[in-house]
Amino acid sequence: MTAPPLDSSAPSWPRWIADLRRLLGIRPQFLLSGPIRDLFLTPLAGQTVLLPILDCLWEALALHGYQYLLVHDRVDGLRVHPDTPAARQFASRALDQDFTGAPLPISLHRLPGVLRALVSADVRAAAVIDYASRVPVSVQQLTEAEHEFFTACEKLAYVAHPRLAAPDPAPRFNPILWLCHRETDLPSWFILDNEAVHRLTLPAPDFDERRHAAALLAASFVGHAEATAEQHRLFADSFARLTEGSSLHGLFAIAQLAEEQRLPLAEVGDAVRCFQVGALDNPWKKAYLRERIQSAAEELGRRVKGQKPAIIKTVDILMRSVMGLTGAHAAPASRAARCSSPGRPEWGKPSWPAP
């Protein structure tokens, strides 16, 4: 899927990336927690694209002359990111290791030595402890090897110094970046009592981020090329509203589903519903059900006496459920359905959103 050009209203780097870049000269280690497995809006070559966290980090650090990321996790061991010949050669020379082949298995006992070489290297580089939540088997009861590892990393945080590296004129640390789901996944004495470890909490995507991601993903829907600017705007707004609480990775998955099912822009609600409940067919689109819901307020008014506010609210809830909307999403439509003028209900004429 090709992303459209970056427009003037597009977001720049995520806030946590901006904070990370600003603090590279004064903080040697960072703890990144939250939705770390999401996708992130990343400016790249005049466009905004959706990238996983390692790629987003790399694009941001490369702007400051960083030449590679050294990534570790307990499954694969050590590997170089990005996986290019140039990055592999830089890492192999700087760390006296052979990174030209498969990832290198390494124990927790040996890992601090590699990290020590990286933070003191004369080239720009960063270490990423991926899946850091899985390093300790039990954070309340560390093994001897785990305790030694975190102690060594704590010491590294205090003995590291910012380094100069051309062409960047500013001294910056070769940082260690910890990727965790929660801060509490690591020992509290290492995180909370260590001023050298800066904590960055990644937030869930807000409405504007989801709307921008939706605009990038519109190419997955049939008819996007022929749609007007207003249709694209309405699509992005609807996609963002319907995915309240979702990750950008979830939006990407919905777009993939829409591409597979050949769904048009106007049926973005069906794509979201299919992703959420696993069924593309929407029984509420059947004509006889729509007709019954359209007349629900009038029918209930004949059967239930003296409960007009409760009936109106019940019909509103039913309509929002049918359309897959929350109360917040449907509030303007609900008010329009209830009142033809302020304070005066108009019976039997709910405002049914266009399919």
Which pLDDT score is estimated for 1?
Answer: 42
Residue 12 or 79, more confident: 79
Cα–Cα distance for residue pair 164/44, rounded to 1 Å: 26
Smallest CA-to-CA distance from 66 within 35, 94, 38, 98 is with 94
Residue where one domain finishes, among candidates 169, 201, 233: 201
Which pLDDT score is estimated for 319?
Answer: 67
pLDDT in tens, 21-54: 999 999 999 999 999 999 999 999 889 999 999 9
| Residue 73, domain member (yes or no) | yes
185 contacts 140 by C-beta, under 8 angstroms = no
151 contacts 109 by C-beta, under 8 angstroms = no
Which pLDDT score is estimated for 5?
Answer: 37
pTM, 2 dp: 0.77
Q: Answer yes or no: do 296 and 264 share one domain.
A: no
CA dihedral 20, 69, 170, 31 (to 10 degrees): 30
| Residue 148, domain member (yes or no) | yes
Which pLDDT score is estimated for 329?
Answer: 40
pLDDT in tens, 248-302: 999 999 999 999 999 999 999 989 988 988 755 555 555 555 666 667 777 777 7
Handedness of CA 17, 23, 25, 29 (dihedral sign): negative
Q: Answer yes or no: do 230 and 316 share one domain.
A: no
Cα–Cα distance for residue pair 278/116, rounded to 1 Å: 49
Q: Answer yes or no: do 196 and 221 share one domain.
A: no
Cα–Cα distance for residue pair 239/17, rounded to 1 Å: 25
Q: Answer yes or no: do 257 and 338 share one domain.
A: no
pLDDT at 125 over 90: yes
pLDDT at 8 over 50: no
pLDDT in tens, 184-226: 999 999 998 788 999 999 999 999 999 999 999 999 999 999 9
Q: Answer yes or no: do 53 and 160 share one domain.
A: yes
Smallest CA-to-CA distance from 251 within 223, 288, 215 is with 215
| Residue 2, domain member (yes or no) | no
* pLDDT mean over 114-124: 94
* pLDDT mean over 159-173: 89
In 130-140, which positions are buried (b, 16+ CB within 10 angstroms) versus exposed (e)? bbbbebbeebe
| Residue 350, domain member (yes or no) | no
Which pLDDT score is estimated for 300?
Answer: 75
Q: Answer yes or no: do 218 and 189 share one domain.
A: no
Residue count of the chain: 355
Range of the domain at 268: 207-281
Cα–Cα distance for residue pair 49/319, rounded to 1 Å: 36
Cα–Cα distance for residue pair 224/203, rounded to 1 Å: 30
Residue where one domain finishes, among candidates 241, 257, 281: 281
Residue 119 or 322, more confident: 119
Least confident among 74-78, 112-116, 203-207, 311-315: 311-315
User: Which of the four pLDDT bands, split at 50, 70 and 90, describes residue 4?
Assistant: very low
Give the CA distances from residue 344 to residues 16, 32, 328, 332, 349, in Å, rounded to whole numbers and listed in that order: 48, 52, 22, 16, 13
Least confident among 101-110, 214-223, 233-242, 293-302: 293-302
| Residue 6, domain member (yes or no) | no
pLDDT at 333 over 80: no
Q: Answer yes or no: do 21 and 143 share one domain.
A: yes
| Residue 354, domain member (yes or no) | no
Give Dmax (Cα) for the chain: 84
Least confident among 9-13, 223-227, 309-313: 9-13
Q: Answer yes or no: do 43 and 181 share one domain.
A: yes
| Residue 4, domain member (yes or no) | no
Q: Answer yes or no: do 168 and 236 share one domain.
A: no
Which pLDDT score is estimated for 245?
Answer: 94
| Residue 355, domain member (yes or no) | no
Q: Answer yes or no: do 211 and 277 share one domain.
A: yes
Q: 122: which residues sit within 8 A by CB, 6+ positions away?
A: 94, 163, 165
CA angle 305/307/312 to nearest 5° reads 120
CATH of the domain at 59: 3.40.50
User: Which of the four pLDDT bands, split at 50, 70 and 90, describes residue 334?
Assistant: very low
Which pLDDT score is estimated for 280?
Answer: 56
Structural domains in the chain (count): 3
Q: Answer yes or no: do 88 and 101 share one domain.
A: yes
Which pLDDT score is estimated for 11?
Answer: 53
Residue where one domain finishes, among candidates 181, 201, 221: 201
User: Residue 17 burial (CB < 10 Å; 0-12/13-18/19+)?
Assistant: buried
Instruction: Quote the mean pLDDT of the chain.
Output: 84
User: Which of the four pLDDT bands, split at 50, 70 and 90, describes residue 63?
Assistant: very high
Q: Where are the beta strands (DSSP E) in the chain?
A: 29-33, 39-44, 47-52, 69-73, 77-81, 126-129, 163-165, 168-172, 176-180, 197-201, 339-341, 344-345
User: Which of the four pLDDT bands, split at 50, 70 and 90, describes residue 132?
Assistant: very high
Q: Which residues pair with 165 in a beta bridge?
A: 168
Which pLDDT score is estimated for 322?
Answer: 58
Q: Answer yes or no: do 170 and 239 share one domain.
A: no
- Report the share of the chain in percent with pLDDT over 70: 82
